[in-house]
Amino acid sequence: MNTAESNALDDRLGISGQTLKATKGAGRAALVGYLPVGYPSVAGSLAAMRAVVEGTDGLGADMVEIGMPYSDPMMDGLVIQHATTKALERGVHTRDLFTAAETVADAGAIPMVMIYWNLVHRYGVEAFARDLAAAGGAGLITPDLTPDEAQEWMAASDLYGLDRVFLIAPSSSDERIATTMAACRGWVYATSVMGVTGVRAQTSSAAPVIVRRARQADPNLPVGVGLGVSNGDQAAEVAAYADAVIVGSALVKCLIAADDAGSDDLRPLREKVADLASGVRRQAR
């Protein structure tokens, strides 16, 4: 690869993709932890995000996927729906995302925002990009926005140097996978099962297949796998073939258990993150 090609690839990897490149260079996958801002409260969610980055014994998440609660989530399973509904009831606002991004960045991890597109559109696309970049956010994961409808976001993300992560699924055609990955900056999010998110007893057999198809379409763009990982063993299994292991419901369940008990103890969350972080390091790559 010549210098121009190398520079073009670095630009395409963006902030978050460079992190995945670095963890791959270290012989492991990255751990991406999802938590919604505003649950159990805004302050409580910020403390939880710091805990996810720190973990225990130096084993924490490399990246935090900051979820913005939404009244009509299409992909979120019951665990995340419960938390985000509570967050909305307790008064979370879109601007709290920017505080969360600052918190994650200050803790030493990469902040990515997972948000349904109507919220960005209502805020103002360019204004959202401006404020997220100013807060240290790396970019957006947009589960309900496809590249062919993303012209305004493509322009704003280019203007402010933000990553854009689109989703592919087992049902995606080869052509759709290729066009989606071509529109990404950073990495591509491969959903390993059809349907909504949630903890599962075992990882999906479709996950290695969708990752392989993604690599055939574009071997240079990192691939993250989400939906279903709940423990270190499953994380190790997915880390054997994916560049990033994305975990959400298993972490949110720790917050729900504490909230139901009237506790702010984050030790179970830290221990869960450490188990998952240990899992992604278990596979020699």
pLDDT for 142: 97
Three-class DSSP category at 173: coil
- Among 231, 258, 270, which Cα is nearest to 247's? 231
How far, in Å, CA of 205 to CA of 197, rounded? 16
Q: For the chain, which residues score pLDDT lower than 50?
A: 194-201
Q: Would residue 271 be called left, alpha or beta, if left means φ above 0 and alpha means ψ between -120 and 50 degrees?
A: alpha
pLDDT for 281: 95
Two tokens at 206?
């479709």
CA distances, 1 to each of 10, 16, 131, 222, 257 (Å) = 12, 21, 35, 17, 50
pLDDT for 129: 98
Q: How many other C-beta atoms can be found within 10 angstroms of the C-beta atom of residue 7?
A: 11
Domain ranges in the chain are 28-280
How far, in Å, CA of 236 to CA of 142, rounded? 26
| Residues carrying an active site annotation | 65, 76
How far, in Å, CA of 122 to CA of 100, rounded? 20
pLDDT for 1: 66
Fold designation for 28-280: TIM Barrel (3.20.20)
pLDDT for 177: 98
